[in-house]
Amino acid sequence: MNGQSGIHALEVAGLKLPCNVFLAPMAGYTNYPFRKMCLSLGAGLAFTEMVSCKGLLYGSEETKRLLCSGGGEPLKAAQIFGSDPGVMRAACESEELAPFDLIDINMGCPMPKIVKNGEGSALMENFPLAERVISACVRSGKRISVKFRTGVREGGECAAEFAKLCEGAGACMVTVHGRTREKIYSGPVNFEEIAAAKRAVGIPVVANGGIWSRKDAEKMFDRTGADAVMIARAALYRPTVFAALAEREEPPLSELFPVQLRETKELYGERFACVFMRKMAAFYLKGRPGAAAMKRALFSAETTEAVEELAARAFAAEEG
């Protein structure tokens, strides 16, 4: 999977990315320590969790916390959501987003609480508003990309048309999740719709959906001609997937987990780290012998020390 048809460096609006395999923005998961780990394993770019532009402008401390970053991210990418062009531009011009090299607009989230507010994938049903949102964000002077789906419902796919709208409004890159909104995160990926988007525009196109392995990534590149691929849920179960895609040695999770736990605790505090790392340990151990019993024990742990001890025991049993 070498050469321009597979994994390689990529330039996006003057940003020189070391690798065209990205970590997707995932609400509740892609905080700074997790992004930093994935970048160290070979991801070329890693996005923050989805950030509300209204929350940002209203001074929400929780929203600001989602944008925590540091020296482990040489290039920084944030994802925002909203539907008011003025609010979106103001957020892009805010002090909180100033450190970010690329800002991605979410126009693909299928969750009802987002869609009912006219945000996320609801914007795929309102092309004029979507265009105004993108144009307003571009006028902030930031690099703007857009993540969207193949369409809202089966039979109404419009990835090529929406990609052209994004490019025309000034976006420097688009990511296409190869499923409609009604499919949420399940079902087969529509490779042809992603390929159609790639043929329709001159800006880089990132393919997202159903990539769990090197073989999956190869298939995605071959079937779509995409410039890059984006990894989502696979990274939660096995963050070393980035090393595997880059044909690098995969370090054991037993080494990665304590570092991630320590950095999460230092940044967010004991209680958040305990709850978050219980969740991450459950992901990392899923499908392994004794995983169900270990998950029950993990979710009864009340301290990070207990979480680390339980996870270490589980990793040792598997690696031993």
DSSP string covering 135-187, please?
HHHHTTTS-EEEEEES-SSTT---HHHHHHHHHHHT-SEEEEESS-GGGTT-S
Least confidently predicted of 155-169, 178-192, 265-279: 178-192
What does the pLDDT average to over 224-252? 95
H/E segment holding residue 81 = strand 77-81
Q: Is the pLDDT at 4 greater than 60, yes or no?
A: no
- The CATH code of domain 10-245 reads 3.20.20.70
| pLDDT for 290 | 78
Q: In this structure, what are the phi and psi dihedrals at residue 111, rounded to the nearest 5 degrees?
A: -65, 135
pLDDT in tens, 148-164: 999 988 888 899 999 99
Class of domain 253-319: mainly alpha
Q: What is d(CA 74, CA 72) in angstroms, rounded to the nearest whole number?
A: 6
Residues 46, 235 contacting (CB under 8 angstroms): no
| pLDDT for 33 | 97
Question: Structure tokens of 1?
Answer: 């999977």
Q: What is d(CA 86, CA 101) in angstroms, rounded to the nearest whole number?
A: 21
Residues 131, 169 contacting (CB under 8 angstroms): yes
Domain ranges of the chain: 10-245, 253-319
| pLDDT for 319 | 60
Q: Is the pLDDT at 114 greater than 70, yes or no?
A: yes
Q: DSSP label at 28?
A: T
Q: What is d(CA 85, CA 67) in angstroms, rounded to the nearest whole number?
A: 21
| pLDDT for 122 | 95
Alpha-helix runs per DSSP H in the chain: 32-41, 53-57, 61-65, 85-92, 112-115, 127-138, 159-169, 191-200, 214-224, 233-237, 241-245, 253-268, 270-285, 291-298, 304-319
pLDDT in tens, 301-312: 999 999 999 999
- Average pLDDT over the chain reads 93
Q: Is the pLDDT at 98 greater than 80, yes or no?
A: yes
| pLDDT for 320 | 52
Q: Is the pLDDT at 48 greater than 80, yes or no?
A: yes
| pLDDT for 3 | 38
| pLDDT for 2 | 38
Q: In this structure, what are the phi and psi dihedrals at residue 55, rounded to the nearest 5 degrees?
A: -60, -40
Q: Which residue has the tokens 């009864």?
A: 300
Question: Structure tokens of 277?
Answer: 């790392």
Which residues are catalytically annotated?
Answer: 109
What does the pLDDT average to over 235-255? 94
Residues 191, 176 contacting (CB under 8 angstroms): no
pTM greater than 0.75 (yes/no) = yes
Q: What is d(CA 81, CA 22) in angstroms, rounded to the nearest whole number?
A: 19
| pLDDT for 181 | 87
Q: Which residue has the tokens 């995409």?
A: 226
